[in-house]
Amino acid sequence: MEEHLQKIKPLLDAKVRLYNQPSFIDRDPIVIPHAFSKQQDVELSGLFAAVLAWGNRTSIINNCRKLMSWMDDAPHDFILHHEEADLKGFLSFAHRTFNATDLLYFIHFLRHHYRQYASLEDAFVPGKTYKGDTVEQALIHFHKYFFSIEHPERTRKHISTPARKSACKRLNMYLRWMVRQDKKGVDFGLWKKISPRQLVCPLDVHVARVAQRLELLPDNQSNWRNALHLTAQLRQMNPSDPAVYDYALFGLGAEERL
């Protein structure tokens, strides 16, 4: 491990212990999937919570809760069995630039998927086991698959891909939720095809700023190159679970304003 990383590892490990615990849940969008126990409900509510996770966290959580209530707080059953008339109320939905057109396509795609597969994990990894060094190809596959049926062009901006150099912050956060399992009560660990060591640390402008100040990044740009660079640094400190440091970096930025 590089000398600089040896110096900051105790700080980051301490912040992980501080934030990777159930008290973190209520103030974070991950509170949405924590309202469910059925795997498909966790996956679906988690995807919506992750995709809508930009802006004020209170607004994110409130809008996600409203959306889940419109699905009768049983999203998997609703996705599979809703009638056209059940969607009329969804026409008023809006969160930032995510509007009813986008929402209706998400519902349409998810019904298309769940009629063929038992889990949303298959949308990221179609085979038995994911073999990549990082989740880069899984994210690229998901983007292509998500838009493999007729779709509104405007909705493409709501599902990012490394193929367009995006940091894919929200999808990497979603994969962290679904893949990591350390028995701390925050992440779910439902998916087994992807290993925690393959996860890429979620990177947005706030995490990038903190990472640059800690000399983990050469600049504060939020892009795929920096997401991989940051993850490579974190992997030196924890080879089997680099994304665990998302807690520390996010906490230092959002909670402590480093």
Q: Is the pLDDT of residue 73 over 70?
A: yes
User: 136: which 2 tokens?
Assistant: 């880069």
Backbone phi, then psi, for 229, in 5-degree steps?
-65, -45
The predicted model scores a pTM of: 0.97
The mean predicted confidence, pLDDT, of the chain is 96
pLDDT-based confidence at 231, cuts 50/70/90? very high
pLDDT-based confidence at 249, cuts 50/70/90? very high
Tell me, what's the pLDDT at 11?
Answer: 96
| Cα–Cα dist 222/205, whole Å | 6
Phi-psi region at 118: left, alpha or beta (left = phi > 0; alpha = psi -120 to 50): alpha
Q: Is the pLDDT of residue 192 over 80?
A: yes
Of all residues in the chain, what percent carry a pLDDT higher than 90?
A: 95
Q: Is the pLDDT of residue 211 over 80?
A: yes
Q: Is the pLDDT of residue 256 over 70?
A: no
pLDDT digits (tens, 9 = 90+) for 92-134: 999 999 999 999 999 999 999 999 999 999 999 999 999 999 9
Q: Is the pLDDT of residue 179 over 80?
A: yes
Q: Is the pLDDT of residue 1 over 90?
A: no
| Cα–Cα dist 171/49, whole Å | 10
Tell me, what's the pLDDT at 57?
Answer: 92
Tell me, what's the pLDDT at 258?
Answer: 63
pLDDT digits (tens, 9 = 90+) for 133-161: 999 999 999 999 999 999 999 999 999 99
Residue pair 167/203 in contact by the 8 Å Cβ criterion: yes
| Cα–Cα dist 72/83, whole Å | 13
Instruction: Please state the rounded mean pLDDT for residues 10-37.
Output: 96
Entry field: residues in the chain:
258
Tell me, what's the pLDDT at 253?
Answer: 85
Neighbour count for residue 98 (Cβ, 10 Å)? 20
Q: Which amino acid is at 94?
A: A
Which of 20, 1, 4, 57 lies closest to 245 in space, CA to CA? Answer: 20
Tell me, what's the pLDDT at 257?
Answer: 67
Tell me, what's the pLDDT at 254?
Answer: 76
